[in-house]
Structure 1
């Protein structure tokens, strides 16, 4: 809790020389073991200023410090000074903050008057929403929730891949074989079949690729037939995508796409030429980035068509002009790391001082037997099928474990979708994730269903004890057992964990935190009765349980996961 850290920092500052360029409050840590105190101050950085061994500094500083206020005891261990907070004060401050502000516990206003733009999900039109799109969607969705909770104005943008040569392929494939497909039934799967067939046939007849490029040129030039087919495919795709986004609870402030920036890309290319940044290379027009140890940034191909890289430049410029963002985040796979380094460098060379506010948020891929998916080969797993399978498995468990549960289908949907989300978000985003149906849909161990079940268990407990719970009559002195203090400490870490997740652009920090919170509560739950014969003790423990429920619910919400009251 910041108030405790602030008091410790003030105490330390009184005994240290003035003028130290150190943020003492920021340096304070939480020890790994409860017996080592509630907070610890490492003296290593002080060695640079005081020119002494850190252990010697800690020893001398400890002799000068006296407990006061909420600080019950001070100890020195090696180069650390450890502080013990009065249990009742610690409990009161943490729980009061949660219980008095349940709907927004953990929220902060550090982002007031600042705007974050988040580009995430961004599937291609005329292609299925497959499991490969899940990572960008849930990571971006979680970051959007996190930044909004911290008070930022957030613009969530779904930047659709709706332009480029691939659409020449889809258009030409539809003209060749479209009479054999029915786009009124599962239209995306039908378009995928056409796309796969095109690549199979193009391997035998390379002239098909030339025809596809010609159709894309027609599309860029505004050919009515090409434009009509493209608009048809785009509308079909967005309509299907919105159904899945609604199911996932993912919202965007706008759907845009590369097509919107096709004309603006020509303006950007002209500007690059005016600035003397463009040069010809083997018939193509490029920005030479060899000075920055990067390959050339291709602006136009030999046939004069622009590439998606230039459309990314146009989109970045447009977003800054519209939003004046503090940061613009691109939640895109790590295989695009070089691309974004190039885009940001070219923006910098164009003189945009805000170029360093553009940040690539890379993530690993789902792997299948060590390989990634291929839309061209039709090797994809539809996300909707994964969600359906998860919900179906949860429904079976409910029928077996709790057949009398009300609203079984609603609960199965919440838990099934939550399982898929959490299986992704608990991983550090940069790591590749082996796709394993059983692991992703498992409801044992460190999973979304485990957290949801803990929430439901607490809800049931609170219902049993609702007559005893009175938030105006809590005696915080009752909460002194080690298991109780471990829960309270963990609850109190929630606001800092949200900040850390935002700073590191890492939703897994919150996912892992929620696992530790549920584990701490379940240890407490198994060690002590909550509803006892002692009303004062019962009331305090019920308040503690309620604080855990609130924190679990708020944390899951940040990850885009719902918390059912019954399971």
Structure 2
């Protein structure tokens, strides 16, 4: 409901400054709740108005601020207007603040924060998100955890704001490594072991053949031959590769189910072999393909055309590369899905690859390349289980569940659960998500089991615990949906602090939609949990008059709804008991 208040303030500014209300909507910001002093609800930066040409840059900013503040009149919505240092502060009527926010929190079409006028300027359309993208015939490495969680967050966020989202898992299912794996399996593979523990066996085979290749040149040559056979679709090689792919996707889907992640499309490099050849022909026809002294085919990306910077698209033996297939995949997706934006989620080391990809697409005459974006992320350091170094994601999920289960069994507040393992899994995954999302995505971070699973502190466990505690309160005293609620019964400082914080949610979602950083949502929800805890301690529901109890219950229902909504955007499954 922040948009109602923004519109009220913007209309005042519009009348005085002669500009449309839309000019001021984005210039107003909700003020973070302060523990030390009472804070206003909204703030307008006068320097922003000067920068946008709304106010003349001539004169002293502070004088202009004070003069403008005096011209603005209070009304039934805005009860106090004051000048700060270069800003104008607006305090809302407490009764109207409570009434309007409760009104939106109670709407059946619950999209609190996402229906704000801040999003009016954003184009709605089709967003294609490529994420996770592990290599087939390899177990799901813990390093893929970040891509999967971040991509899922971006897809959830875009969907919550009204975009049509296509979730693509672009498997690494082609390339020279399959030549090595094919040769390795022919030499060291065992069909019985493949059926028993498929990905572990393929991993062991891959490690063994690479070790052998260090001292035997014949293996490397055989691997190149095997991959050429794959590129030519020769039966023995292709049949073995298809078996590896089917087994791998089946195993991956088990992990995705645990994470609560779904994909609309399982694609892969292998889907674009023929199209990759067409891309090379197009580049040649357009005069963009160059041949180096080593016989490789490249695209010159240097500004002056002196080959000081280029991208290789074809090896000297005529086989395609990762970027060649990426070009083909991008063109194919535009033709099939007509996306308005495409987002790739991979580690930050691939930044140069995507810069080259987007530049080649643009050079080929595809203007939509400007609407392609790479979201990079840093490394997780120090991730270990009790058994030692973590290699596979299943180990991480199992460890998170077992540690959480133990913590729950030791806690005096743990409720009787129908399926404690399932709850421990959901809470453990939430802990992984919050630890990953608290800082900037491009930063490396050190994995810490103990800190991650703390019930008190800024953790995913704390988020889930707060949600479950509110669910328990609501279940105990009824849903509070029936009957009118008197806003004047929610004017205590603890209530008002919650409502003030909720005013910021649309800005948080807007900021996240711009930079695709989940930290904004995480930090908002964690602060909401702390405010909810304070309100829960001071604003008792039991043994109060019916009107007071119902009003407070409506407050807690609203907090619970926003928490659950925000957690789902982050990729968590809220639990009702723990």
Q: Provide TM-score, normalisation by structure 1.
A: 0.94
1:375 aligns with: none
The DSSP-based 3-state class of the residue aligned with 1:93 is helix
Paired positions, count: 558
Match of 1:395 among 398, 405, 416: 405
1:465 aligns with: 477
Please say if residues 173 and 195 of structure 1, whose CA atoms lie closer than 8 Å, have aligned partners that are also in contact.
Answer: yes
1:307 aligns with: 321
Matches within 5 A, 1:411-450: 411-450=423-462
Matches within 5 A, 1:534-553: 534-553=545-564
Please say if residues 301 and 310 of structure 2, whose CA atoms lie closer than 8 Å, have aligned partners that are also in contact.
Answer: yes
Distance of aligned partners of 1:174 and 1:440 in 2 relative to their CA distance in 1, 3 Å threshold: farther
In 2, Cα distance between equivalents of 1:418 and 1:186: 28
Please say if residues 124 and 162 of structure 1, whose CA atoms lie closer than 8 Å, have aligned partners that are also in contact.
Answer: yes
Please say if residues 483 and 523 of structure 1, whose CA atoms lie closer than 8 Å, have aligned partners that are also in contact.
Answer: yes
Structure 1 position 532, deviation (Å): 4.3
Structure 1 position 403, deviation (Å): 6.6
Select between 134-143 and 96-105 the one with higher mean Cα deviation: 96-105
1:327 matched to 2:344: no
Structure 1 position 332, deviation (Å): 1.1
Matches within 5 A, 1:29-108: 29-32=29-32, 33=34, 35-47=38-50, 49-50=55-56, 51-101=58-108, 103-108=110-115
Structure 1 position 152, deviation (Å): 0.7
- C-alpha distance after superposition, 1:92-131 (max 9, x if no partner): 1111101223744344486786100000000000111011
1:10 matched to 2:11: yes
Please say if residues 77 and 96 of structure 2, whose CA atoms lie closer than 8 Å, have aligned partners that are also in contact.
Answer: yes
Select between 518-527 and 491-500 the one with higher mean Cα deviation: 491-500
In 2, Cα distance between equivalents of 1:335 and 1:202: 26
Structure 1 position 160, deviation (Å): 0.2
1:531 matched to 2:538: no
Distance of aligned partners of 1:438 and 1:407 in 2 relative to their CA distance in 1, 3 Å threshold: same
In 1, Cα distance between equivalents of 2:424 and 2:22: 51
- C-alpha distance after superposition, 1:215-262 (max 9, x if no partner): 111110112111011001101100000111111110100100000001
Structure 1 position 286, deviation (Å): 0.3
1:158 aligns with: 169
Structure 1 position 58, deviation (Å): 0.7
In 2, Cα distance between equivalents of 1:112 and 1:27: 19
In 1, Cα distance between equivalents of 2:85 and 2:504: 25
Distance of aligned partners of 1:403 and 1:147 in 2 relative to their CA distance in 1, 3 Å threshold: closer
In 1, Cα distance between equivalents of 2:422 and 2:447: 26
In 1, Cα distance between equivalents of 2:90 and 2:166: 42
The DSSP-based 3-state class of the residue aligned with 2:90 is strand
Structure 1 position 21, deviation (Å): 11
The DSSP-based 3-state class of the residue aligned with 2:29 is coil
- C-alpha distance after superposition, 1:317-359 (max 9, x if no partner): 1111112211100011110000000000011101111110111
Match of 1:476 among 469, 482, 487: 487
2:153 aligns with: 142
Distance of aligned partners of 1:2 and 1:447 in 2 relative to their CA distance in 1, 3 Å threshold: same
The DSSP-based 3-state class of the residue aligned with 1:131 is coil
Structure 1 position 380, deviation (Å): 5.2
Structure 1 position 178, deviation (Å): 0.9
1:252 matched to 2:259: no
Match of 2:226 among 215, 222, 241: 215
- C-alpha distance after superposition, 1:411-442 (max 9, x if no partner): 22221222222222233211112233334444
The DSSP-based 3-state class of the residue aligned with 1:299 is strand
Select between 121-130 and 424-433 the one with higher mean Cα deviation: 424-433
2:23 aligns with: 23
In 2, Cα distance between equivalents of 1:389 and 1:46: 53
Please say if residues 419 and 443 of structure 1, whose CA atoms lie closer than 8 Å, have aligned partners that are also in contact.
Answer: no
In 2, Cα distance between equivalents of 1:100 and 1:161: 44
Please say if residues 470 and 556 of structure 2, whose CA atoms lie closer than 8 Å, have aligned partners that are also in contact.
Answer: yes
Structure 1 position 22, deviation (Å): 8.3
1:291 aligns with: 303
In 2, Cα distance between equivalents of 1:386 and 1:348: 40
Match of 2:466 among 451, 454, 470: 454
Structure 1 position 146, deviation (Å): 1.1
Please say if residues 31 and 504 of structure 2, whose CA atoms lie closer than 8 Å, have aligned partners that are also in contact.
Answer: no
Distance of aligned partners of 1:270 and 1:475 in 2 relative to their CA distance in 1, 3 Å threshold: same
The DSSP-based 3-state class of the residue aligned with 1:343 is helix
Consecutive unaligned residues in structure 1, runs of 5 or more:
373-377
1:317 matched to 2:324: no
Distance of aligned partners of 1:19 and 1:548 in 2 relative to their CA distance in 1, 3 Å threshold: closer
In 2, Cα distance between equivalents of 1:466 and 1:46: 48
- C-alpha distance after superposition, 1:38-62 (max 9, x if no partner): 0011111344542122111111111
1:266 matched to 2:267: no
The DSSP-based 3-state class of the residue aligned with 1:305 is coil
2:184 aligns with: 173
Please say if residues 344 and 375 of structure 2, whose CA atoms lie closer than 8 Å, have aligned partners that are also in contact.
Answer: yes
In 1, Cα distance between equivalents of 2:123 and 2:362: 27
In 2, Cα distance between equivalents of 1:419 and 1:295: 43
Supply the RMSD in Å over aligned alpha carbons.
Answer: 2.3
- C-alpha distance after superposition, 1:492-525 (max 9, x if no partner): 3323322321221122221121111101111222
In 1, Cα distance between equivalents of 2:219 and 2:555: 67
Q: Provide TM-score, normalisation by structure 2.
A: 0.92
In 1, Cα distance between equivalents of 2:146 and 2:529: 24
Please say if residues 41 and 90 of structure 2, whose CA atoms lie closer than 8 Å, have aligned partners that are also in contact.
Answer: yes
Select between 99-108 and 265-274 the one with higher mean Cα deviation: 99-108
